Structure formats: C-alpha cells, structure tokens
Structure 1
Amino acid sequence: MRNLSPTEIDDIIDVAHALADAAREATLSHFRTAALTADTKEADRFDPVTVADRLSEERMRAILAARRPQDAILGEEYGARPGTSGLTWVLDPIDGTRSYLAGTPTWGVLISIADEGGPIYGLIDQPYVGERFEGGLGRATMTGPHWTRPLSTRPARPLGEALLMSTFPEVGTPEEGAAFHRLSRQCRLTRYGTDCYAYALVAAGHVDLVVEAGLQAYDVQAPIAVITAAGGVVTDWQGNPAHQGGRILAAANHEVHAAAMAVLNGA
C-alpha cells in the first residue's frame, strides 16, 4: 500500500462517509415507492437498473469531482473516469438491485478506494437498516441505530459448524454451482439472498463463509477492505487476489478459508 499522510487518510475517510450519506438519501428517496420501475441491462436476462442506481452514483461522482478530482473512478452505472493520483474510487450505487426492487432491506451501497495493489479502505452501507461497516486505513467498525462496535471476524471452528452464505443458489456456471453445493453439504447452515450484507456479517463475526462467482470489481472491493480489516480473508477460489471480481471466497479466518478452498477445488 502506498504511503498516505494522516491528513490524506482523514480526507479519504471523510469523503467516503460523505459519499455514503449522499447515496443513502438518493436510494431511500425511491425505495418502496409505487412508481419504482427498472430497465434491464441485458437482453437475454433480467439485470435490473433503476433511477435510484443512477441517481446514487451521479451524486457520489459529483462529490468526488468537487473534493477528489485527482482520483480515478470506477462505477457500475457510468464506468471509468481516469485520474492522476494513483487512487481509484470503486462505486456500486446499489448492490442488490433485485432486492431493492422487491422491497427487502438487505441491499446496500459499496464504496472503496484502491491503489495499484487493490482496495485500501471500504464501506458497506445499508441505507434502510441504518448500518455502516467500515474497514481499512486503521479502522474496523460498524455503526448503526442500536450500537457502535468494532468489527472482528469469527475464530476458527470446523467446517461442519460453519455458516455459509451466497446471493444465488445457482452460484455461476453449472460447474461452479456443483462446487458450491459440495461445500454447502459440508457446512452446518447455508443461507441465500442478502447480497453485500453477507460480507458485512462475515466482518461482524456472525458468518464463516461467503462464496460467489461471476462478480465484478465494484461488487467486491469494499467487502474485501472491510473483511480484511476485521481479520478475515478474501481471495478467489484458488487463493489469489480477488479485487477484480470473478470467483469469490470470503472467510472469517485462514483455517476455514483453507478448508473451504480444498472442497471447492475437489479435494
């Protein structure tokens, strides 16, 4: 990680929270409204995008243009903007648009900043629930309506006692799905459908594993920063860096990570 001065660290953190605040307001202004509809990004499957996705990213980009114009941006809805600082903000304005459309509360906003080595700081924000999970640059904290607590992942325990989560039961291709379900059969409990909130639960010490496939950089970089700061491990299914997306294995500790990776790879 590049060396950042205390002043720059404070500014990055302050800007990240300003982005999350703006995204909260934008997304909640349309959530559970009768007029909410969605377009699809792909012709052959329903990949929804709403006015709230676009508004959330537009407002975050406006803040970055005013406060951090030297930084690059990579956002889900409006793509890449180059920068000169060597730092890139990675934005997912609504992670879980399907959940957002359905009126369920576990969708979130993902904000991170990365250097050439990957994410160095991230936020997982849950606007409707009011919880915010922060990790990196010396921080690992969750805040919410009930408490503020440090983040710390769960200690090691046998795979047969582990809680496993994923967004979709299919988990990518048929081959990837078969590997996932092989792992699921060895875990105590498997749950689906919470999008980025599953990663926050790993960081908070409630879940042992999140396994997914087919993800993009903006889906994973904030969770990587938060989970790593809380003491967990996030890689691809072979143990390599995962900040560009693809197959994701997020684990509470190195022991459960190794056990899950062995099962995913057929050992």
Structure 2
Amino acid sequence: MTDLEAFALELATVAADVSLPHFRTDVSEINKAEPGSFDPVTEADQAAERALRAAIKARYPDHGIIGEEYGEENPDAEYVWILDPIDGTRAFISGLPLWTNLISLRHKGVPVIGVVGQPYIGEVFIGGPSGAWLVTRDGKAAIRTRKCAEVSQVVAATTDPDIFCGEDRQSWDRLKAAVRLARYGCDGYAYAMVAAGRIDVVLESELKVWDWSAVMPLVKAAGGDFTGWDGQMPTAADGRVLAVGNPALRDPILALLKV
C-alpha cells in the first residue's frame, strides 16, 4: 500500500472518531436547502470535515482540498483531497447505518484513491493503486466486483428515484424494468457493495463532485467501471454517474438510458 493510500486510511479513522459519537444522538441539524426542500447538515458533518482538513494540512500542506461543508482551498494543486464528511446525512439523522465518510485523492484532475468508511458497522473500503480492500477490525481482505453479464440478472441501486427529473426519470424507469432487483436509500454505501460484489449497478444524477470522487477509484480498483451517462469520466458540471461491477454491462445500460 502506498503512503498516500495509508494516509487515506488514517483520514478514515479521523472522520470516524469525530462523526460516530454523534450518531443516534440528538445532534443539531440545519436545513441548507431552499424553502420547500430538505438538505440537512449537522455538527457531525462540520466537525468531521474540520478534523479532516486539519489532518491534511498537517501532513501535506501543499495539497488542495475540496469539501462539501467548507469549500475549496488550492483546488488547482497537483494533489487535491475531496471530502464528503458524512454522505447520507438523512440516513445519519434517521439512525440508519447507511451513511458513510467519503474521502478521495485527486491527482492532476483524476480521482486515484477513494475511501468509503462506515464507522458504526466498522467497515472501511479503499480503492487505489494497490487494489481494492475491505478493512475491518479483523484485518484487511481484497475485494472484487462480480461478473454479472446479463442486464436481466442485475441488482441495481439508486439513492432515491425522486432525484431523477424528466427524461432522466424515464431512463431510470427503463433500467428498473429491465433488471432483476432494485434497491434504494444506500447513498455512497451502494458503491461499496458494487466493489464488494453484492450490487451490480448504481445509477444516479444530481451528484456533486464530493459525492462521486471517492467511489470512482474504489469501483474501478475492484474491477468495475465508472462513467458519466455519456460514457466519459464524470464532470463537476454534470452529476449523472453510472457504476457497473462488470465493465461489459456499461454499454448495454448506457444504451437503455438513451432509448
């Protein structure tokens, strides 16, 4: 494991140590969405990101940082850490252990290391140059996607079908009708299950760069593929992403989306 991968695991511990004590407590929350919508942020989100930023600056002061809660610092640096301190805040405040700490390292614009940590369960998934791994209290084990090759046998996931609007919703409905099973509400944890060989496809839209940067290298290091809906690398301007466990599924599913 490279030094940067090892440091990413250290950051997972930092995020867990700060966020987990707030879970299933009466942690305060603020709705940062427009009236009529709900997009919560809690002290756990903010405290975890502050701790992550402090740890990065102490170890790698020349690296940039992009975080959901506190914005950008040196975003054009060669190395940039991208942070979603608690992905799935709605699950967090509901007491559901499907939220995660998302930590990514981008090199020259491309995410190359990704960490998905679930502190309550005690799981950390990491993907990078050394491969894809699940780290638990019992040790570290390599993980791989599964090679489901038939769309009709796919287990698919999205956080919430209501995130899809207009033609995007029609695309999701076609995919859902074509697969064996669809599951909802897992946020970033669904991509960890792709890497671990339990889910075959995740389709989402309206994502921000901190929502997908950690899961992209994890899925790819485990043997899968991760693209935008156009088949290219996702961009900050277009939050539509597709993760597939078997790269052979990518083109048939992209074709379904465009019908």
Give the TM-score normalised by the residue count of structure 1: 0.92
Residue in 2 that maps onto 1:91:
83
Judge conservation of contact 2:79–2:106 (CA < 8 Å) in 1: yes
Q: Which amino acid aligns with 1:67?
A: R
Judge conservation of contact 1:224–1:243 (CA < 8 Å) in 2: no
Where do residues 7-156 of structure 1 align in structure 2 (5 Å cutoff)?
A: 10-33=2-25, 35-44=26-35, 45-82=37-74, 85-145=77-137, 148-156=140-148
Bigger shift: residues 36-45 or 185-194: 36-45
Gapped regions of structure 2 (runs ≥ 5) = none
Q: 1:249 aligns with which of 220, 228, 242?
A: 242
Judge conservation of contact 1:70–1:84 (CA < 8 Å) in 2: no
Give the TM-score normalised by the residue count of structure 2: 0.95
CA distance in 2, matches of 1:235, 1:112: 16
Q: Which amino acid aligns with 2:117?
A: D
Gapped regions of structure 1 (runs ≥ 5) = 1-8
Deviations 1:184-217 (A, max 9, x none): 0000000000111100000011111000000011
Deviation at 1:174, TM superposition (A): 2.6
Judge conservation of contact 1:71–1:84 (CA < 8 Å) in 2: no
Coordinate RMSD, CA, aligned: 1.5
Judge conservation of contact 2:5–2:128 (CA < 8 Å) in 1: no
Judge conservation of contact 1:221–1:243 (CA < 8 Å) in 2: no
Residue in 2 that maps onto 1:3:
none
Residue in 2 that maps onto 1:234:
226
Number of residue equivalences: 257
Judge conservation of contact 2:66–2:75 (CA < 8 Å) in 1: no
Residue in 2 that maps onto 1:258:
251
